[in-house]
Amino acid sequence: MGKNLTGKDIIKLGFPQTNAVNIALGQISRFRKKEKKESVLVELSDVFNTPEKFAGHPIWGKVSESLIAPLELRRHELRTSRVPFELFGENEIDEKAKFQFYDSLKLPIAVQGALMPDAHYGYGLPIGGVLATENAVIPYGVGVDIGCRMSLSVFDLPAGFLKGKDFMLQGILRDHTRFGMNEVQDVKSDHEIFERKEFQEIPQLKSLLGKAYKQLGSSGGGNHFVEFGVVELNEVLPEWKIEKGTYLAVLSHSGSRGLGASIAMHYSHLATKQCPLPRHVQHLAWLDLDTHDGQEYWLSMNLAGDYAKACHDDIHRRIAKALGHRVVLNIENHHNFAWKELVNGKECVVHRKGATPAQEGVLGIIPGSMTAPGYIVRGKGNPLGLNSASHGAGRLMSRSQCKSNIKPSDLKKALLEHDVQLIGGNVEEAPDAYKNIKTVMALQNELVDVMGTFTPKIVRMAR
């Protein structure tokens, strides 16, 4: 069996006594251990004799790379100075998050950075951190919940529709939304995302296809939500088939579920092994986009982002069908993602970990809290902010601090004062856990224009 194959067997094929042998053994252990030893050796012999033929191969690509252009595993040191950066709302950002951001600006691959006013401490990059890098992607700079995003659907219904419909709208959220690790939709939906070639060509993604299918149309735990509320449009675009006014809308916040988390953990581990850094910045380890693993992560990340969109689309489709009314306007945007964009005329990888894309004219939705309004925005394309804006209000307290400082009765009082009904949720997501969204928005008027607001009224979160 493949699992009984040893390094000596591989060396006998002519492999150099380098890390190529270990890489080959690792790939065999993951993907060929149930096959006969002889057949695996025949494949390896072919890889050794014609490595260029296997460049990009889902299983032998890493082995091919180790023979043609082996990775140089050397410790990287931080620069002594930072690349150019900008802080928006410096006085609203805690020192721990700032220093974490400053470290990222000293990476050898860093080009430019920006920190949004909702920023707070995280793993790798702080939440609210934006970092442009040269031909490299940082898995923890993207985040664990790859492609976490907002989606706002406005219905052809006036805001007054909410009056007297509480029980019905609560029922729609209870029946058609699912949250956390264990809840899934009873009636599954198919989606073209599952036909993507990445699910067949990348072994790790192939193993995650079943989980992705099962979790489609569900949301994560923590601060993820689906909520009915009132949209007030102060300004409309010519292409919108809608007028200024107030409307019923649904807003959702979630990401790529178990698919994205598994991708993040796998490639973060590979980055850490391939890119040794000083211990305090090891979470900023990167993958070179010219490598097999870098390209594989890039494909996987983009698939996870598209899957996150598919989940939101499915949730909104279910709600619209239950409501019996059509969506006349949808505004959506990613955060926790990386894009290839021009920075000062040069193509870079722009990481937005908890930050909203805000290129000139680009639309987005920045939520507040369960009792505070969210804002419909249009980007100004500010190069100092790397064409970005905040992704929300930002946390003031950690979840553990919330448990110590906020009582369930405090949460109930806040909900009552703002006429908001909550299904699920707990004190960890209480309004007092977050910064003042109005203050945060005032600190980024150089980054976005406000076109309207969304005020939550019926909120559904994980229990």
pLDDT digits (tens, 9 = 90+) for 204-234: 999 999 999 999 999 999 999 999 999 999 9
What pTM did the predictor assign? 0.92
pLDDT band at 383 (very low <50, low <70, confident <90, very high): very high
Number of C-beta neighbours around residue 216 at 10 A: 23
Q: How many CA atoms lie within 13 A of 206 on its CB side?
A: 9
More confident residue, 355 or 463: 355
Which pLDDT score is estimated for 223? 94
Work out whether the CA dihedral 366, 144, 101, 222 comes out positive or negative.
Answer: positive
Which of 308, 307, 314 has its CA nearest to residue 187? 314
Least confident of 62-76, 148-162, 171-185, 382-396: 62-76
- Separation CA 212–CA 193 (nearest Å): 10
d(CA 211, CA 215): 6
- Contact yes or no for 293/267 (Cβ under 8 A): yes
Per residue in 91-144, pLDDT (tens digit) is: 999 999 999 999 999 999 999 999 999 999 998 899 999 999 999 999 999 999
Cα separation, 431 vs 396, in Å, equals: 10
- pLDDT in the model for residue 282: 94
**Is residue 85 helix, strand or coil?**
strand
- Residue 19's pLDDT is 87
Max distance between CA atoms of the chain, in angstroms, equals: 78
304-313 pLDDT tens trace: 999 999 999 9
Q: How far apart are CA 453 and CA 38, in angstroms?
A: 65
What pLDDT shows up at residue 2?
Answer: 56
| Confidence at residue 33, expressed as pLDDT on a 0 to 100 scale | 83
Q: Is the pLDDT of residue 3 over 80?
A: no
CA–CA separation, 457 and 463 (whole Å): 18
Specify whether the backbone of 425 is left (phi greater than 0), alpha (psi in -120 to 50) or beta: left
Tokens found for residue 423: 């299904």
Percent of the chain clearing pLDDT 90 (strictly above): 91
What is the rounded average pLDDT of the residues 164-171? 95
Dist. CA 216–CA 214, nearest whole Å: 6
**pLDDT at residue 30 in the model:** 84
Name the residue with tokens 């590979």: 270
pLDDT band at 75 (very low <50, low <70, confident <90, very high): confident
CATH of 149-461, one of 3.40.50.10540, 3.90.1860.10, 3.30.420.140, 3.30.2350.10: 3.90.1860.10
DSSP state of 325: -
Separation between Cα atoms, residue 301 and residue 287, nearest integer Å: 13
Q: Is the pLDDT of residue 32 over 90?
A: no
Average model confidence (pLDDT) across the chain: 95
Task: Spell out the domain ranges in the chain.
Answer: 2-68, 149-461
Instruction: Please report the pLDDT score of residue 70 as a whole number.
Output: 83
3-state secondary structure 230-268: EEEECCCCCCCCCCCEEEEEEEEEECCHHHHHHHHHHHH
> What confidence tens digit (pLDDT) does each residue in 394-448 have?
999 999 999 999 999 999 999 999 999 999 999 999 999 999 999 999 999 999 9
